[in-house]
Structure 1
């Protein structure tokens, strides 16, 4: 047993369930027999597991299933110290689902692999081809319909689920994706799984699938904000498939729009442009002006990073025209955040990246501290940092540092890898200002903030 640490997590669960080692082994044997895959284990096997030996993948799965039933709650492999037994496929979640059943099964596996901290989904690499394959499949395929079932899951269940998801969305906006991401995934793995496993009517089923698609989109955003980019990409793709299965074309386009946002962030600008254009093309004539305006801004963000100023300006002009036609009452709830301040912030991002600090300053200044009572604290942080970048680009180092300190104060409650990335870029832009007399004072004050510590540790 050299090098193996005792599995205290499994020991605690066995004790909580009231098992001895012998009775636990018997329960695992009985569970395996009921599952049609008998396992020969005894109290000696249990002792090995408690001493740190990892059981086979199928055995670990049976242990978790049996403990979950006994304790009356979902137990993840990581909860029982068995995460290393999990071996999900390396491409889990990267393929666009061909049927609703496939999409449901895949997203459930993805939730579980996430909770089990499977390295293949947490630490994998972004695959640019997966974005293009998913967007093309969405553009070319019909809705993934499901068979009608006897009603059991009703509108009240869906409403309760949506309200709970909305609470997690509020926490995400106010505190960042890292704050409650794992709790949200645990909620999805339990309540969303229960709803999807239930029976629904033909009328209720699309609304349920749409609600789960929107929740999976939030899981993707939270994972993206946490810096888990390969995992976020998988959630985005599965959210797209579920939205298609629900015949919710507007939500599906919103997913592609979000994919474009992530693609720009990770430096895949051409893919980001194509994803934003696919969202617009796939909803031509049906998307609201607000949505179309946002599709144009996502395209503009990527074009600005590419340095294509004429194309970026055209996209921003189109965004303005669409936004001027908007009627918020016509918009889906999930795009309701995109108001005048958010549009101006998008312009500010683009002009900063195009090297137009005066224009960036003009657009983002009204966005800073817009009086939204912290509802979109992370967005306020981003706008403030773009303003700091604009001052720096104009050679106003002292003002840039003062604004960056304001951003750090705004973001003190945030747990967000994206926010840390904005600070990291700012610190790189500060390097040429090394002769600025008060730069040392800025660094000293910034060092007191956790986001600055997170940003500088990664350098």
Structure 2
């Protein structure tokens, strides 16, 4: 008996007949009609596993009815597939293989497969991915002629939906709606990618799904799921290649660099940022090039290479001063003066220059749109708190940190937690003073401080 499925059907208020009808309607909307009736539902409840496509339609139907993401595992329909340990860690050479790989990765994520959730990052995979792209930046997108017709309006609808997830990620952190994003990608993206489309639509479609998978990578990274995030980054790169979108592909390498720095792999991080710049020489906009340089500078600062970091930051400023936002891809237009100042703040803090770090962190705080980019505002505020602490002003550091904790109270982000943990360690030598005991009493009201206090 499949008790999990029975409970969900009952919770959604379906009878066997009405559930079969809802499943048929969902499959028809997707362009892949599934024939089922109340007898089919009885068989599923008795433990007979439906086909993979039918199982996906079942959970999509339940998700819509219940208003929340329902996975195959939730419905007792997860297949006991043996996943390779390296699933998603290499760039497929053909677009068809890329579709299959990313689809399996989405499903493994929904099934909470330990292979993708609990493994460690593989530094060699970053190097292999960047080399593959540099040597072969594009491939021909797949076309499955027997799939449903896919036009640009379908892609625009998909992009608009991903835009909503992007807004939630920026405001509430990757842990807020990550699962719902993966559910959406798993159910809708394969139908589009396997559809019937012309070359122009194909390029736009693959780029759109690459952006969506990049968002999945960022949200997984922000949730502390680093091996999974690495796999999503690599598959996003594969999809961008199929979309012949070199700028997006380079930005994905740039994002890999960000994760590598966070993971303490500073040399790999610098190499990835350099590869992004090298692979787009002559075609990247100044804004993009400035961002690639900023990511390289972050890695160099963590390495303690002040001379190289200063040189790269100077190059970033030179590029940034040439920018024209109207010429930038939509997804990089957020990178403005405030964001560049935030990057300087990070680098100068890590180089042990607290006075300069304070100046840049203060500069960016007044300019970041905290309503839209609440997490970015949090990061910049914590950098300012760190800088005050390093400059010997613990009380001012605590005042600023409280502002950050207030900003972060709605954020579900492992990265935000890491910033607070780092500040707490730096504060520890002075935290017992009477002047700072009040900070502890106020800080414990906020969720991020509670998480580190009770670890």
TM-score > 0.5 by shorter chain? yes
Residue in structure 1 matching 2:313, options 307, 312, 316: 316
Is this contact kept in 2: 1:270–1:302, CA < 8 A?
yes
Provide structure 1 residue ranges, at least 5 long, that are not aligned to the other structure: 1-5, 24-34, 36-42, 50-54
2:181 is aligned to 184
1:376 is aligned to 373
- Counterpart mapping for 1:213-252 below 5 A: 213-252=210-249
Is this contact kept in 1: 2:382–2:420, CA < 8 A?
yes
1:46–1:455 distance in 2 versus 1, CA, 3 Å = same
Q: Give distance in 2, aligned partners of 1:367 and 1:70.
A: 45
- Counterpart mapping for 1:134-213 below 5 A: 134-146=129-141, 152-213=149-210
1:101 is aligned to 96
Is 1:64 the equivalent of 2:72?
no
1:119 is aligned to 114
- The C-alpha deviation readout for 1:372-423, integer Å capped at 9, x for no partner, is 2511100000000000000000010000000000001111111111001000
Residue in structure 2 matching 1:87, options 77, 82, 85: 82
Deviates further, 6-15 or 441-450: 6-15
1:352 is aligned to 349
Is 1:133 the equivalent of 2:128?
yes
Is 1:275 the equivalent of 2:272?
yes
Q: Give distance in 2, aligned partners of 1:161 and 1:286.
A: 27
- Counterpart mapping for 1:22-101 below 5 A: 61=52, 64=55, 67=58, 76-83=71-78, 85-101=80-96
Q: Give distance in 1, aligned partners of 2:215 and 2:398.
A: 33
1:44–1:438 distance in 2 versus 1, CA, 3 Å = same
Q: Give distance in 2, aligned partners of 1:278 and 1:385.
A: 30
Q: Give distance in 1, aligned partners of 2:61 and 2:378.
A: 46
Is this contact kept in 1: 2:56–2:72, CA < 8 A?
no
2:420 is aligned to 423
Is this contact kept in 1: 2:3–2:45, CA < 8 A?
no
RMSD: 2.7
Q: Give distance in 2, aligned partners of 1:362 and 1:65.
A: 52
User: Residue 439 of structure 2 aligns to a residue in which SS?
Assistant: helix
1:128–1:456 distance in 2 versus 1, CA, 3 Å = farther
- Counterpart mapping for 1:399-438 below 5 A: 399-438=396-435
Q: Give distance in 2, aligned partners of 1:122 and 1:285.
A: 38
Q: Give distance in 2, aligned partners of 1:340 and 1:44.
A: 60
Deviates further, 115-124 or 259-268: 115-124
The alpha-carbon deviation at position 344 of structure 1 amounts to 0.3
User: Residue 277 of structure 2 aligns to a residue in which SS?
Assistant: helix
The alpha-carbon deviation at position 88 of structure 1 amounts to 2.3
Q: Give distance in 1, aligned partners of 2:155 and 2:411.
A: 30
Q: Give distance in 1, aligned partners of 2:228 and 2:60.
A: 28
Is 1:290 the equivalent of 2:287?
yes
The alpha-carbon deviation at position 82 of structure 1 amounts to 5.0
Give the TM-score normalised by the residue count of structure 2: 0.87
- The C-alpha deviation readout for 1:249-308, integer Å capped at 9, x for no partner, is 000000000000000001010100000000000001110000000011100001111111
Q: Give distance in 2, aligned partners of 1:300 and 1:146.
A: 35
User: Residue 85 of structure 1 aligns to a residue in which SS?
Assistant: coil
1:314–1:422 distance in 2 versus 1, CA, 3 Å = same
User: Residue 179 of structure 1 aligns to a residue in which SS?
Assistant: helix
Q: Give distance in 1, aligned partners of 2:329 and 2:53.
A: 42
Q: Give distance in 1, aligned partners of 2:77 and 2:44.
A: 14
The alpha-carbon deviation at position 70 of structure 1 amounts to 8.4
Q: Give distance in 1, aligned partners of 2:354 and 2:390.
A: 6
Q: Give distance in 1, aligned partners of 2:214 and 2:227.
A: 14
Provide structure 2 residue ranges, at least 5 long, that are not aligned to the other structure: 21-33, 35-41
1:3 is aligned to none
2:28 is aligned to none
Is 1:364 the equivalent of 2:361?
yes
- Counterpart mapping for 1:9-20 below 5 A: 9-13=4-8, 18=15
Is 1:446 the equivalent of 2:428?
no
1:413–1:351 distance in 2 versus 1, CA, 3 Å = same
User: Residue 440 of structure 2 aligns to a residue in which SS?
Assistant: helix
Deviates further, 210-219 or 63-72: 63-72
1:441–1:100 distance in 2 versus 1, CA, 3 Å = same
Q: Give distance in 2, aligned partners of 1:413 and 1:310.
A: 39
Q: Give distance in 1, aligned partners of 2:277 and 2:373.
A: 26
The alpha-carbon deviation at position 192 of structure 1 amounts to 1.3
